[in-house]
Amino acid sequence: MAPVPTPFDNQDRLDEARLKAAFEIWVRGPLAGFVILGSNGEAALMDDEESARAIGIARECVPRGRTLLAGTARESTQATITATKRAAALGVDGVLVRTPGFFKSQMTNDVFVRHYTAVADASPVPVLLYNFTAVTGVNLQPAAVARLATHPNIVGMKESGGDVAQIADLVSMTPDDFIVLAGAAATLYPMMCVGAVGGILALANVLPGPCVRLFELTKAGRHEEAIALQRELVPVARLLGSMHGVPGLKAALNLLGYDVGVPRPPLLPLPESIVPALRDALAHFEEIPA
Give me the residues that bind a second copy (CB under 8 A), please.
12, 39, 44-47, 75-79, 100, 102-108, 110-112, 114-115, 118, 134-135, 137, 162-169, 171-172, 184, 186-187, 189-191, 193-195, 221, 223, 227, 230-231, 234, 238, 242-247, 264-268
Question: Which of residues 19 and 229 has its CB atom nearest to a second copy in the complex?
Answer: 229
Residues annotated catalytic, as ranges = 158
Cα 168 to chain centroid distance, Å, stands at 21
- Residue pair 241/247 in contact (Cβ under 8 Å)? The answer is no
C-alpha closest to that of 278 among 250, 241, 236: 236
Q: Which is nearer to a second copy, 90 or 237 (CB)?
A: 237
Smallest gap from Cβ 131 to a second copy, in A, equals 15
Which amino acid belongs to residue 134? A
To a second copy, the closest distance from the beta carbon of 149 in angstroms equals: 15
At position 2, the amino acid (one-letter code) is A
Rounded Cα–Cα distance for residues 249 and 254 (Å): 9
Pair 261, 8: CB distance under 8 Å:
yes
Residue 171 Cβ vs a second copy, minimum distance, rounded to whole Å: 7
Element (H, E) at 119: helix 109-122
Residue with smaller CB distance to a second copy, 108 or 150: 108
**Is the Cβ of residue 27 or residue 135 nearer to a second copy in the bound state?**
135
Q: How far is the CB of 169 from a second copy (least distance, A)?
A: 6
Q: Do the beta carbons of residue 200 and residue 183 sit within 8 Å? A: yes
Smaller CB distance to a second copy: residue 32 or 171?
171
Check if the beta carbon of residue 178 is closer than 8 Å to that of residue 152. Answer: no
CB of 137 to a second copy, least distance (A): 5
Report the residue number, 29 or 269, with the smaller CB distance to a second copy.
269
What residues form DSSP beta bridges with 33?
67
Sign for the CA dihedral angle at 106, 107, 112, 115 comes to positive
Least distance to a second copy, CB of residue 122, Å? 12
CB 97 within 8 A of CB 129: yes
Query: How far is Cα 81 from Cα 248, in angstroms, rounded to an integer?
Result: 32
3-state secondary structure of 208: helix
